[in-house]
Chain A
Amino acid sequence: MPLISYREALNQAMTEEMERDDRVFIMGEEVAQYDGAYKVSQGMLKKFGARRVIDTPISEEGFTGIGIGAAMAGLRPVIEFMTFSFSLVAIDQIVNNAANMRYMSGGQFAVPIVFRGSSGMAGCLAATHSHRLEAWYAHIPGLTVMMPATPADAKGMLKSAIRSDDPVIFMEHEVLYPERGEVPAGEHLVPIGKADIKRPGSDVTLITYSRSLKTTLAAATQLADEGISAEVIDLRTIRPLDLDTLLHSVIKTHRAVIIEEDWPYCGVGAGIADRITQRVFDELDAPIRRVAAKDAPIPYNRALEDSMLPSVPRIVAAVHDVAYR
């Protein structure tokens, strides 16, 4: 299988989908002539022309709404946020229009649209440019939320997102763009709402997604050296949650730790822990532990920023906790 970057995998997904379906186009800030702020859309203007690769003014609320309107009229827009931090300017459009439209029209108007872009703490970007807003969007009925952690998933998930008839929040991670991995050439689809066991194990279930997968896999390797067999599950889709895969694992391991880069209070892990506890409380040998970002705005200073993130020592400590070690 070809070895390509997460960035190239996303580009491949969009390119292939635009080749197979003229209704698909990409719109956003600097996606065309600049080749993308993070070069995800590199070469696409040249390949598809200005009709389908469209630079916008700095008007997130406006072009988000334009995308939604175009979707209501039958197109399949891919709207790029330079970073999801900027989606806060457009959140009224995403929540009130994209997520609600089908419901409040009694099923008459669908909104097949993908909102995609980078997110997360990526090194000295400070409080306004490092947001992880998956919990905000996963809260909303009507939205699908997807967050790929590997190049292969980036491609397969984005292709599925573009083919979805519903609005999809597709959150990439800035530090993952240069990550390389094996990616199937051509048709490769990862189903929406399907988690993936990235490392099988029997003693504890580690539930994670996006950039934290890498940290969690490193922690699992260290735990194996101590004789603890950790099963690492990559959620991939945050909403709808693949609860069956989680429950199946927890029934086997009886212990769970959730690793996430968003803030702890009302974060994604809180919702997951609630749902696992409701279903299989009797199977748990210890309370579910969460390793999330620290509960502070994201600082500029690198050491402070690093201290915010889930780390191998924090994950290992949480596992020791649930394993009573």
Chain B
Amino acid sequence: MAQAQTEAKPVVNRTQALVWLRQMMLIRRFEERAEMLYQKGNKIGGFFHQYSGQEPVAVGSIGVLREDDYIITAYRDHGHALARGMSARAGMSELLGKVTGCSRGKGGSMHFFDVEKGFLGGHAIVGSHVPLATGVAFALKYRGEDRVCVCFFGEGAINQGSVHEALNMAALWKLPVIYIVENNLYAMGTSLERSTAVLDLRLRGATAYGIPGITINGNDIELMAKTTREAANRARGGEGPTFIEAQTYRYKGHSISDPGKYRLREELDRAMKNDPIMVYQNVLKQRGWIDDETTDKMRDEIKTEVEEAIAFAEHSEPPSLDQLYEDITVAPFIPQE
């Protein structure tokens, strides 16, 4: 049995906990099925980065935000979008390049967007969305609102200049932004040790800018939630940004084409033995909040939901060819041809 996590006291009630468990299971299933569609039948194209293994980071942190808060992330974005409440239909349709997709088939796996949910996108140039998050927080402060912007990025982004420029200004101007670094140990195939002179990410992302920094086990969903809630309270109170290093692990390669030869099989097996979804199921069982019947039922529901999303996506129309020129500008677009 997978190890129960360290948090002694629940930070949520049963209803909320079940929602989180369900969301993690949905993300896992969504990506498993999408991978099959990619591998068989050539239905999904391009770069496809999976979140499997990291689900508690997105679900725990996004789970404590308000509906009017903003979220922005990098290209490994399926999990964050689903955690924010994007429908599996909209996500799957986007993967299949359909007009019913969350970005109308123009964005693909790396560029999920959902304006209604305050989901400002998946962004695919490493680190380039970190200034965007900071700008969103600037706007919130400018208008005197008590909303926050949560910005996820991988530990590989810590070596991009744009990230440090943004961190500096966020600290300087005390902006309501929460930076969550998902440290899954590998920037594509390059380990932290091979890319980063100072391994304690807090020293570079937090200490260097006078930002409170905290390193936690990101796979402990309730710890993730608690830490994010505290950071959000600070931000809403005008105390500025927080830097959270969430330690986690990705099960799949960097993208679908990556066999992961840069890491040992044992390392992966060890991580999978402590699968965070299994861990959380056990925690909830120990609390007496769920039994096997609950999870079986949940699993069946999710299966149906994802299959229904696939059917919806497959039956949806692709964008018509004249939509090539749509949504380039707000003003009528004049192709310079």
Contact = CB atoms under 8 A, between A and B. Distances in A.
Interface of A: 25, 51, 56-57, 59, 61-75, 92-93, 96-97, 101-110, 112, 138, 141-142, 144, 164-166, 192-193, 239-241, 271, 275
Given A96-B128, A104-B111, 6 more contacts: A69-B137, A72-B135, A105-B106, A108-B103, A164-B330, A166-B331
A70 B166 CA distance: 13
A109 to B, nearest CB: 6
Nearest to B138: A70
Contacts of A275: 336
* Residue of B123, B137, B328, B333 with most chain A CB atoms under a 10 A cut-off: B328
Contacts of A66: 131-132, 134-135, 138, 166, 169
Contact of A65 (B70, B135, B331): B135
Q: Top 9 closest A-B pairs, CB basis?
A: A69-B135, A65-B131, A62-B165, A106-B104, A107-B327, A165-B330, A73-B139, A59-B165, A66-B135
B256 to A, nearest CB: 20
A108 B331 contact: no
Nearest to B161: A61
A101 B107 CA distance: 10
Interface string B126-160: 00111111111111101100000000000000000
Contacts of B113: 104-106, 108-109
20 contacts: A61-B165, A62-B134, A65-B130, A65-B165, A68-B132, A69-B132, A69-B137, A70-B142, A72-B136, A73-B139, A102-B328, A103-B106, A104-B121, A106-B103, A109-B113, A142-B328, A142-B329, A166-B331, A193-B334, A271-B336
B329 A102 contact: yes
Given A104-B107, A110-B330, A69 B139 contact: yes
B269 interface: no
A73 B70 contact: yes
Nearest to B165: A62
A65 B177 CA distance: 14
Contacts of A106: 101-107, 113, 327
Contact of B336 (A70, A101, A109, A239): A239
Nearest to B175: A66
A102 B327 contact: yes
Interface in B91-117: 101-107, 111, 113-115
Contacts of B125: 92, 96
A138 B128 CA distance: 22
Interface residues of B, number: 49
Given A59-B169, A240-B336, A105 B132 contact: no
A56 B169 contact: yes
Name the residue in A75, A102, A103, A105 with the highest tally of chain B Cβ atoms < 10 Å from its Cβ.
Answer: A105
Given A51-B142, A70-B138, A104-B107, A61 B131 contact: yes
A104 B130 CA distance: 18
B316 interface: no
B188 interface: no
Nearest to B142: A75
Contacts of B121: 101, 104-105, 109
Interface string B307-337: 0000000000000000000111111011110
Contact of B111 (A67, A105, A241): A105
Nearest to B337: A275
Contacts of B161: 61
